[in-house]
Amino acid sequence: MREMILLSGSLKNCLQVRKFWMLAVAPSVIGNTALTLPIKRKILGNIQLTQKRSLGLMEWGGKEGYKYGDLDYVGDIWNIRESDATFDEILCTEVFEHIPFPNETIKEFSRLLKKDGKLILTAPSNCLRHMDPYFFYSGFSNRWYEKFLKDNGFKIELLSEVGDYYTWLAVEISRTALSHSIIAKLVLAPAFLYYYNKKKTRLSIDTLCMGYHIVANKI
């Protein structure tokens, strides 16, 4: 029996591109565990195993109004009370910006995974403050993943960027326009269309992107 552990942040912030990406790289997760496992009051995220066996996750608060899955165990993501080499796969989506110890968490994932086990991870590289006060980082660069995954016994199989500098500008212009008057919308519309239709380049991606999707194997 293959064991999989799932850790998820709020689906309210889950972009469609992330959903489709996870459907492609982790069909067993999507097929056997719900992705609607967002932030819970006094629990930030959750962990759920396939075969209907669930753990819990971090004892860090969230905001009122979120819906949650059932949890059998509550603890810290960087100190999960399970034996070494327990899991074949770990899926962690949009959690790292909300925890104070992401480096230690990568180390913990390495401990929990079996040899050749798979880590599927998504996190922002540039985001606005959200779920405060449980907001510790605005994002993580590709260099961070390359260093800390390698240092903890992982080999990166896939590291893909989400968006680029032009995408980010289009999103922020849209955010500003939607929160202001009709005059602001009319003034900002040309700038939005300009950046929305700009083609990605290596430079625009390396300058700034919105996040990364990673698949890494425990070696």
Cβ-contact 145, 214 below 8 angstroms: yes
Q: Residue 89: CB partners within 8 Å, gap ≥ 6? A: 2, 3, 4, 5, 26, 28, 29, 113, 117, 118, 119, 120
Q: What are phi and psi of 119, to 5 degrees?
A: -110, 125
Q: Residue 47: is its pLDDT beyond 70? A: no
Q: Residue 192: is its pLDDT beyond 90? A: yes
Which of 43-47, 48-52, 67-71, 160-164 is predicted most confidently?
160-164
Q: What is the pLDDT of residues 157-183, one digit of tens each?
A: 999 999 999 999 999 999 999 999 999
Of the chain, the percentage scoring pLDDT greater than 90 comes to 48
Question: Distance between CA atoms of 106 and 119, rounded to whole angstroms?
Answer: 10
* CB atoms near residue 194 (< 10 Å): 13
Average confidence score pLDDT of the chain: 76
Q: Residue 83: is its pLDDT beyond 60? A: yes
Q: Residue 17: is its pLDDT beyond 80? A: no
- Using alpha carbons only, give the angle 210, 193, 174 rounded to the nearest 5 degrees: 55
Mean per-residue pLDDT, 83-90: 85
Give this prediction's pTM: 0.77
Of the chain, the percentage scoring pLDDT greater than 70 comes to 66
Cβ-contact 157, 142 below 8 angstroms: no
- Tell me the pLDDT band of 23, cut-offs 50, 70 and 90: low
* Lowest model confidence (mean pLDDT) among 75-79, 158-162, 197-201: 75-79
Pairing of β 4-8 and β 87-93: parallel
For the chain, domains (ranges, CATH) are 4-164+209-218 (3.40.50), 166-196 (no CATH)
What does DSSP assign to residue 40?
B
* Lowest model confidence (mean pLDDT) among 60-64, 141-145, 183-187: 60-64
